[in-house]
Amino acid sequence: MRPNVTVVRLGHRQQRDKRITSHLGLTARALGANHFVLCGDNDQGVLDTMTDVTENFGGDFSSEHHAKPMSYLRHFSKQGGTIVHLTMYGEPHDSVTKDIPTDTPIAVVVGGVKVPGEIYKLANHNVAVGHQPHSEVAALALFMSELMGGVAGPEQFPGARLQVQPHPSGKVVIDRNEDS
Ligand code: SAM
């Protein structure tokens, strides 16, 4: 069974991070996460992007803004969820990911401009995707792929209006509304 995954984005800044946070949310969805929690600035544009893509391409992905990430994560932990913090200072993802229980909810925390020190203690796992600084999107993608067993996301997104047909030399998209 696929694990239930919430991706928690800390410290979003509406002006500077709009694109990368949108990419983070879309990557979370595409690779099989269920929920996205935006912390920092309450940026309706980012949340709307997720809603639009989910309406068109399907699945049950949802997103929300949360003003207090630490209280959100403490509550998540008390409810029995597992907190995974992606950080270059953590343990290598290819050795620790197999120890993460997949039968209870998982919150994957990615940092922004400043990550509160408490996160390192609250996390059940501090996980590194290599020990070089890079991007939250790259870290999330590689971690999610490992967590999901090496796949690049679910094959089916239920309720999709638009479906891409793989093609060697062009763009083929089936629009269910047009076909019915
Ligand atoms: N400046 C921030 C700081 O001092 O903590 C980090 C900025 S980094 C671009 C944003 C996020 O990407 C990090 O908080 C972490 O979640 C993720 N990240 C970057 N490199 C990583 C790595 N090698 N392994 C795991 N996560 C990484």
Predicted TM-score of the model (pTM): 0.95
pLDDT confidence of 154, banded at 50, 70, 90? confident
Strands 172-175 and 162-165: antiparallel
The atom of ligand 1 lying closest to the CA of 109 is 16
| Residue 129 CB–ligand 1 contact under 6 Å | yes
The residue to mutate among 27, 87, 91, having the most atoms of ligand 1 within 8 angstroms of its beta carbon, is: 87
pLDDT of res. 113: 81
Count the residues in the chain: 180
Alpha helices for 5-129 (secondary structure H): 14-30, 44-57, 69-78, 93-96, 118-122
Is 70 domain-assigned?
A: yes
The pLDDT of residue 179 is 57
pLDDT in tens, 4-20: 999 999 999 999 999 99
| 27-57 per-position pLDDT tens digit | 999 999 999 999 999 999 999 999 999 999 9
pLDDT in tens, 49-99: 999 999 999 999 999 999 999 999 999 999 999 999 999 999 999 999 999
**Residue 66's domain is classified under what CATH number?**
3.40.1280.10
| pLDDT of res. 112 | 86
In tens, the pLDDT along 112-127 reads 888 999 999 999 999 9
Residue 96 lies inside a defined structural domain of this protein: yes
Domain interval for residue 132:
5-152
Using alpha carbons, select from 167, 110, 142, 140 the residue that is nearest to residue 26.
Answer: 140
Rounded to an integer, what is the distance from CA 95 to the centroid of its chain? 20
In a domain, 180, yes or no: no
Within-domain flag for 170:
no
Domains contained in the chain, number: 1
What pLDDT does residue 151 have? 84
User: Is residue 7 lining ligand 1, measured as CB closer than 6 Å?
Assistant: no
The answer to the question of residue 172 being in a domain is: no
Query: What pLDDT is stored for residue 180 in this prediction?
Result: 56
Asked if the model's pLDDT at residue 175 lies above 80, the reply is yes
Give how far Cα 6 sits from Cα of 29, 36, 75, 115, Å: 10, 6, 13, 18
More confident residue, 153 or 95: 95
Residue nearest ligand 1's atom 12 by CA:
136
The pLDDT mean for the chain works out to 95
142 falls within a domain: yes
159 part of a folded domain: no
Q: Is residue 83 part of a domain?
A: yes
For residue 136, the model assigns a pLDDT of 97
